[in-house]
């Protein structure tokens, strides 16, 4: 039964990632769309890695693809989206989760989460005229909770 579930996760997530990269990403008109789509493809690949575990061939392949997508999304987000943008905060959280869950790099995950958290807090504090959505504060809270838990791991 577990194998059937893994195979189905693999099929659905890989098909989704390929579909996003083939059909939606070329049509992305804004940096926000580009970040969201690259993050989504990377997330789907991360799910495959988590389902198969650290030692599998599938994880080695999909972790490289996910890392490429997360890195691309992070570069675009850093250049075009403000640090308190929900899409950017969600990307930072998921990228950090990828480092922790898939690559087993707790310290790197914590540093990435702290960087995103600190950047967003500084932006919010320096820009009181910006209206920050409540969801961004929820994402900040999640980043902080993960930082605390990852700090205890190393």
CA angle 84, 88, 90 (to 5 degrees): 105
Contact 96, 113 (CB under 8 A): yes
Q: What is the mean pLDDT of each run of 10 residues along the chain (154 residues)?
A: 91 98 97 98 98 93 97 98 96 97 94 95 81 86 90 71
**Distance (Å, rounded) from C-alpha 14 to C-alpha 45?**
7
Residues 6+ apart with CB under 8 A from 34: 25, 28, 73, 76
**Mapping DSSP to helix (H, G, I), strand (E, B) and coil, where does residue 43 land?**
helix
Q: What confidence score (pLDDT) does residue 150 get?
A: 83
**pLDDT (tens digit, 9 = 90+) per residue, 102-117?**
999 999 999 999 999 9
C-alpha span between 154 and 11 (Å, rounded): 34
For the stretch 52-70, pLDDT in tens is 999 899 999 999 999 999 9
């Amino acid at each position: 039964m577990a194998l059937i579930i893994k195979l189905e996760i693999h099929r659905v997530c890989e098909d989704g990632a390929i579909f996003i990269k083939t059909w939606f990403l070329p049509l992305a008109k804004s940096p926000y769309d580009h970040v969201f789509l690259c993050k989504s493809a990377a997330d789907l690949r991360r799910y495959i890695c988590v389902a198969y575990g650290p030692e599998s061939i599938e994880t080695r392949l999909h972790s490289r693809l996910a890392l490429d997508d997360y890195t691309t999304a992070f570069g675009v987000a850093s250049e075009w989206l403000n640090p308190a943008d929900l899409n950017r905060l969600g990307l930072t959280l998921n990228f950090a989760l990828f480092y922790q869950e898939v690559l087993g790099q707790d310290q790197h995950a914590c540093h990435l989460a702290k960087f995103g958290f600190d950047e967003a807090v500084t932006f919010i504090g320096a820009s009181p005229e910006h209206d920050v959505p409540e969801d961004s504060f929820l994402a900040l809270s999640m980043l902080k909770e993960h930082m605390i838990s990852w700090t205890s791991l190393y």
